[in-house]
Amino acid sequence: MASEHDTMILRGGKPLRGEITVRGAKNNIPKSVVATLLTSEECTLTNVAHIEDVEIVSDMIRAMGGEVRQDDGTLVISTKNIQLPTKEQFQSFSGRSRIPILFAGPLLVRFGKAMIPKLGGCNIGSRPVDFHIAALKEFGAEVTEDEYFYYFEASKLRGTKIALNYPSVGATEQVLFAASCAEGVTELSNAAVEPEVMELVALLQKMGAIISVDTDRVITIVGVPSLGGYEHAVMTDRIEAASWACAAAATDGEIYVKGARQMDMTTFLNKFRQVGGDFDIKNDGIIFRRGKKGLSSIALETDVHPGFMTDWQQPFVVLLTQAHGVSIVHETVYEKRFGYIDALNRMGAHIQLYQECLGSKKCRFGQRNHFHSAVISGPSKLRGTEITIPDLRAGFSYVIAALVAEGESTLHNMNLIRRGYEDFRHKLEALGVQIVK
Ligand code: EPU
C-alpha cells in the first residue's frame, strides 16, 4: 500500500558531491541465500545490503522453518530444520521478486519436490521461466503446472547436457544449483558468465562443489553427494555503483563510490570515459566526475556479460540527455526496457524510440514490434515534474533526472527503490541533495 514515505520531493539543479558506500549486490545476495538450501550446515554472509529483496528471500527461508539472523551487514542462515513449504507458505511471495523460481532446483535436491508460485511478467518484459523448466526436465524432473503454481518432482537429479537458448543469468544459476548435487557430470553451454554468476560459482566451490568455467560460455559441473556451509563476503553492487557514477557526471559533481570494483565494471568504465566521464580508481572504491571536455554523444548496445549491462542502461540514458550530439542505445536483453522514456521527455529530454535494431547486433526483438532502440538528442535542459516510478532501475534514473532538472520534482513509488538500493535517502543527503519532503 502506498504511504507518504513512498513520495519524495527533490530540488534539482545542483551538483552531487561527496562520498557514499555501496554494499553487496542485490542480484547476488538472494542467490547466496538460496544456496543455503543445499546444505544443513550454518552459512554466514557478510557485506549484505539492507534491501527488500534480501528480506523477501530471508522470509522465504523462514517460512520453511529455516533460521535467518540479521545483524548490520551480516546474515547467519541455517536451513537444518527446514520442511518442504506448502503452497500457502510460498503463495504470498508470488510477483514480488524473481527469486522464487530459483528455489526449484535446491528444493528438488533437498526434498525431491518443489511447488513454486508463478512469477508473472513485469514492467520490463514478459520474463518467462521456460529455460529454468526445460533445464530441470533435463535433470530428470517432472514438471506440471496450474494457474498459479509450477510443480516439480524427481526422486534424484541426473547430470546432463544443457544448451541454453540465451545466456540467461537465472537459468544458469538454476543449473549450477541442481548440477552441484546431481549424480554425474553436467555440461552447460551458452551459459551466462556475469560477475554475479561467477561469484555464485565461487560460493558453491567454497561449499564443496566442483565447477569449471571453460571458454565459450561452457560450464562443467561434477556433482557431489553433499555440500557444506560457507563464510562469504558478497561482491559490491556494480549496478548501484554505476548509477551513482551517472549521477555524478550528469549533475557535473563528483562522487567517491566506496566499494566500487573496477574489475566488475570495465565495460561501463569504457563507455563512461567515451561519453566524457572521468574517474580515479582507488584501493577501496572509484571517484566519478564529469571530464573537463564535457559530455559528448555515443552509440551503445546492452548485452550479456562482457557487454554493457541492461541494468546500466537507464541511468546512462539520463546521462546521455546531457551529452552534446545524437546518441543511440540499442537494448538487446529485454524487450520493454524503455517504458520510462515518456516521463524523461515530459521533463524536456529529446528521446525517440524505434522498433528497429539500431546497432550492429541483430537481437531477438527486431521485427517484433518492440520499441527497443532509443535515439537521444542532447544536451537538454530538464524541468522538475511529478513522476510515478514504474520499476527499480527506472526509479534511480528518474531520481538522476530530477537532480539534473531545474526546480522541484515529486517522485511517487519510492518504495520500489528500496527493493534494491540501501539507505537511499541518507545517501542522497550525504551528497548534498535538497530533499524537500
Ligand atoms: N529469459 C527467457 N526465459 C527464461 C529466462 C530468461 O526467455 O527462462 C529471457 C528474459 O526474458 C530476458 C533474458 O532471457 O529477455 C535475460 O534474462 P535473465 O534470465 O538473464 O534475467 P534474470 O536472471 O531473470 C537477472 C537480474 C536482472 C538482470 C538480468 C540480466 C536478478 C534477480 N535479476 O535477471 O536484474 O537485468 O539478470 O543481467 O538477478 C534488476 O536488477 O533490475 C534486474 C532486472
Task: Convert the pLDDT of each residue in 152-195 to its tens digit.
Answer: 999 999 999 999 999 999 999 999 999 999 999 999 999 999 99
User: 329 by DSSP, 3-state: which?
Assistant: strand
The overall longest dimension of the chain from CA atoms, in Å, is 63
Centre a 10 Å sphere on the Cβ of residue 283 and count the other Cβ atoms it contains: 4
Ligand 1 pocket test, candidate residues 132, 133, 267, 333, most atoms within 8 A of CB: 333
Cα of 127 to ligand 1 centre, how many Å?
7
Q: Which of the listed residues 123, 137, 169 should we mutate to test ligand 1's pocket, taking the one with most ligand atoms within 8 A of CB?
A: 169
Provide the phi-psi class of 140: left if phi over 0, else alpha when psi is between -120 and 50, else beta: left
Distance of CA 169 from the midpoint of ligand 1 (Å): 6
CA separation for the pair 50, 108 (Å, rounded): 29
Q: Let me know: does 94 contact 117? Beta carbons within 8 Å.
A: yes
Å from CA of 359 to ligand 1 middle: 21
Distance from Cα 170 to the centre of ligand 1, integer Å: 6
pLDDT, tens digit, 9 for 90 and up, residues 29-46: 999 999 999 999 999 999
Ligand 1 atom closest to 333 (CA): 15
- Ligand 1 pocket residue status of 47, Cβ below 6 Å: no
Q: Is the CB of 431 under 6 A from ligand 1?
A: no
**Ordered DSSP codes for 244-265:** HHHHHHHTT-EEEEET--GGG-
Phi-psi label, residue 314: left if phi above 0, alpha if psi -120 to 50, beta otherwise:
alpha
C-beta separation of 6 from 424 below 8 A = no
C-alpha cell at 118: 508463478
Query: Per-residue pLDDT for the chain (437 aa), expressed as one digit of tens each?
Result: 455 569 999 999 999 999 999 999 999 999 999 999 999 999 999 999 999 999 999 999 999 999 999 998 999 999 999 999 988 888 888 777 789 999 999 999 999 999 999 876 567 777 889 999 999 999 999 999 998 899 999 999 999 999 999 999 999 999 999 999 999 999 999 999 999 999 999 999 999 999 999 989 999 999 999 999 999 999 999 999 999 999 999 999 999 999 999 999 999 999 999 999 999 999 999 999 999 999 999 999 999 999 999 999 999 999 999 999 999 999 999 999 999 999 999 999 999 999 999 999 889 998 788 999 999 999 999 999 999 999 999 999 999 999 999 999 999 999 999 889 999 999 999 999 999 98
Question: Does residue 171's CB lie within 6 angstroms of at least one atom of ligand 1?
Answer: yes
Active site residue 122: yes
Q: Is the CB of 51 under 6 A from ligand 1?
A: no
d(CA 15, CA 280): 18
Q: Residue 231's beta-bridge partner residues?
A: 44
Q: Which atom of ligand 1 is nearest to the CA of 192?
A: 20
